[in-house]
Structure 1
Amino acid sequence: MEKSCKVCVTGGTGYIGSYLVKKLLDKGYIVHVTLRDLKNESKVGLLKSLPHSEGKLLLFEANIYNPVDFEPAIEGCQFVFHVATPLAHEAGSQYKDSTEASLAGIKSIIMACVRAGTVKRLIYTASVVSASPLKDDQSGFNDFMDETCWTPLNDSLAYLSLDDFHKDYVYSKTLAEKHILRYGKNENGEGLEVVTLPCGLVGGDTLQSFTPGSVGVLISQVTHNENAFKSLEFLENLLGKIPIVHVDDVCEAHIFCIENDSISGRYFCASSYISSKDIEDHYALHYPEFNVKQGNVDVLKKDIKWSSTKLCDKGFVYKYDTKMILDDSINCARRVGHI
C-alpha cells in the first residue's frame, strides 16, 4: 500500500476531514492538510496523533475567508479533496455571506490546482441538500431523486419556512457544487477532472472528542435536542425522505474517486433512504432505555424513489446499512459522553 502520491485535504480537522486524513495515511499517501489555526493545540494534536503521520503529514494554515491561503497546501499534489465549508458567516469579512465566501474559496482552489500543474483530479464534498426533487414550478415533488435533481433556489423553497442557517446552507452547497462542476474537462479534454459527492446525513463514529453535528441530527430523537431535530425535519421536508450514510463509507467513496482511473461528474453518496419515522421506530425498538421523541414532521406525502446507482455502477460497495449507521451513531454519542 506504500505510495508516494501527494494529496491535499481542506478542512482536515472536521468530522469527515479528520476521518479521511486517517484513512489516507493508513493507505500510505502523503497528506497535506489545511486547518484554520495552526495554534489550536487540540486540533493539531488530533492530526499529529494519527498512525503513520510522521513524515507523511504536512499541516497548512488556511481559511475559506482568505482563499489564497490554500495555494501552498495544493502545490505538488496530484489529488485535492475540498472538504472545508463555512457553516457560519464571519461577520466583518470581505464577503456578504457564507455563500459568497464558499464560491470565492472554490474559485481560488481551482485556480491553485491549475497553477500547480500537478493536480489530476479535484473531489468536492457536496451535500444532498443540493439535490431536492422539488419541482421548479412549485407544484410538489418529482417522483424520483438522482443526480439530475437540483434544488430549485426560488419560491419552491418557500413552504419550508427555512431559518437563516438552513437557507444559507442550501444556497451555499447548491451554488458551490454547480460552480465547481463547470470546471470539469470539456469535450476537448481540457480542464481538471472534477468529481462532486453529494453526501447524505453522515453518521457513525468520530475521531473528535465530541458528537459531530450530523451525528447529533441522526440521534436527535433520543437526545431531544430541538435544534438538531429541526435539521432532521428540514431534510425530510426538503428531500421527501432522509438519505443517510456512514462516515467510513463516505471516506472510502472519496478515496475510490482518486483510485479509479476514470471518474468525473456528480455521484450521490448515501446507502439508505429513510424517514424520520423509520429512525424513531429503530430507536424505540432497540433502545427502550431512551424516551424516544415522537415525530411530527409534516412531510408532503409522496413515494419518492432513490434512483441513483452511479457510484455503485462504477464499482463502489457500501459496507454499512441503516441499522449499522444508526447503532454506530448511538455508540459514538455514548463513547464521548453525550448520552
Structure 2
Amino acid sequence: MNKSVKVCVTGGAGYIASFLIKHLLERGYTVHATLRSLNDDSKVGLLKGLDHAETRLKSFEGDIYNPTDFAAAIDGCEFVFHIATPMQHHKGSQYKDTGEAAVAGVKIIAESCIKSKSVKKLIYTASVMAASPLKGAASGYKDAMDETCWSPLDLPYEMYFDYINSKTLTEKVVLSYNGLGIDVVSLACGLVGGETIQPFLSSSITVLIEQVMNDATLYKGLRELEDLDSKVPIAHSQDVIEAHIFAMENSDMNGRFLVASALLKSAEIASLIHKHFPNINIPPE
C-alpha cells in the first residue's frame, strides 16, 4: 500500500487508538486523530509526543455527542478507524443513553465516509461483549462464537448493561453500511492487555488483572464477561493493532471478525498469574 495515504482515527487518546496512531505514524501513514477537546493538554500532548507527529499527525475535535464534528477529520481520508465510544452518558443531551448516542454517532460517521468520496473502508472497533454465544434464557451456550452471535439486550448485568447494549446496537448499525459505497470491517476485540503509551492503566487492563488488585467491583465485571461469553476472550494490544492494520491493508476484507488469542476462565487467569508471579497472593474466593 502507498503509505502516503491519510487515515482517520476517532477517540485518538484512548488505549487502543493511541497505540494504533503510534504504529500508523511509524509505518508512514498520515493520521487525522479526533479528541473530545483540543484543550485537554494531557491528551493532546500524548499524541504530539509521538514520533513523526509534527509532520504527519493532525488533531481534530470530535465528540460522539456532537457527531457532525467528525466530518472535517474524515474529509480526504481513505480509511477511517472508528474507536471512540461513550462510556458515560451526558445528562441533558439530546440522547437518552450511551447506546442511543453511539448509534447516532456511527450513523453520521458512516454517512460522512460515504459522502467524502475518498473513504474506501470503515473499520469499527467492536467488543466481544456484543458477541455472546448464549442460546437464550438459561439454555446454555452455542458450541462456538461466530458471526451469528449477538448479545441479548435484556441481560441483568450491573456493571456492563449499558455498555453491552451500546456496543451491540452500534455494531449492527455499522455493519448495515457494508457495501453502500464503502466496505465495513468490524473487529470484535477481546479483553485487551499488554503494551500501552498511556501514563495510566486502561479499564481493560485493570479488569484483566483485577484479581491481583483484589478489587471486588472489577472482579464482578470480569465475572460478567465470563458469564456472557462462557470464557473470557483475551487479546494482546499488539495483536489488536496488527488486526486493525491488516483489515485496512487487505482490500478484499470486510464483515465481522473476532480478535482474541485465548479464551480463559477467570480461575485459569488466576492460575496463570500465580504460576508466573508466585509471590502474589490471590484470595481463594
Question: What are the equivalent positions in structure 2 for 1:93-132 lying under 5 Å apart?
Answer: 93-132=93-132
TM-score, normalisation: structure 1:
0.82
Cα pair 1:221 1:292 within 8 Å, conserved: yes
1:56 corresponds in structure 2 to 56
- Give the partner amino acid of 2:206: G
Gaps of 5+ in 2: none
Q: Percent identity?
A: 53
Q: Distance in 1 between the 2:109 and 2:48 partners?
A: 24
Cα 1:2–1:111 shift into 2, 3 Å: closer
The Cα of 1:191 is off from its aligned counterpart by 2.5
- Kept in 2, the 8 Å contact 1:280–1:293? The answer is no
Alignment of 1:235-250 (within 5 A): 235-250=225-240
Where does structure 1 differ by over 3 angstroms across 4 or more consecutive aligned residues?
none
Distance 1:250 1:293 in 2: 31
1:144 alignment counterpart: 144
Report SS of the residue matched to 2:242. Answer: helix
Q: Does 1:218 pair with 2:205?
A: no
Greater mean deviation of Cα atoms: 238-247 or 220-229: 220-229
Q: Secondary structure of the residue that 2:54 maps to in structure 1?
A: coil
Q: Does 1:291 align with 2:281?
A: yes
Counterpart-to-counterpart distance in 2, 1:7 and 1:241: 34
1:191 to 151, 160, 181: 181
Structure 1 vs Structure 2 CA RMSD? 1.3
Partner of 1:269: 259
Moved more, 122-131 or 282-291: 282-291
For the 8 Å contact 1:135–1:152, the answer to whether it is kept is no
CA spacing shift, 1:81–1:198, aligned 2, 3 Å: same
Give aligned pairs, total: 285
The reply on whether 1:80 has 2:80 as its aligned counterpart is yes
Query: Residues 240-276 of structure 1: CA distance to partner in whole angstroms, max 9, x if unpaired?
Result: 0000000111011000011112100000000111111
Unaligned 5+ runs, structure 1: 296-339
2:186 partner SS = strand
Cα deviation per residue 1:177-220 (whole Å; 9 max; x = unaligned)?
Answer: 011111101xxxx4210000000000002111111111001110
1:162 aligned onto 2:157 = yes
2:168 to 156, 168, 174: 174
CA distance in 2, matches of 1:197, 1:141: 21
What is the TM-score with the length of structure 2 in the denominator?
0.97
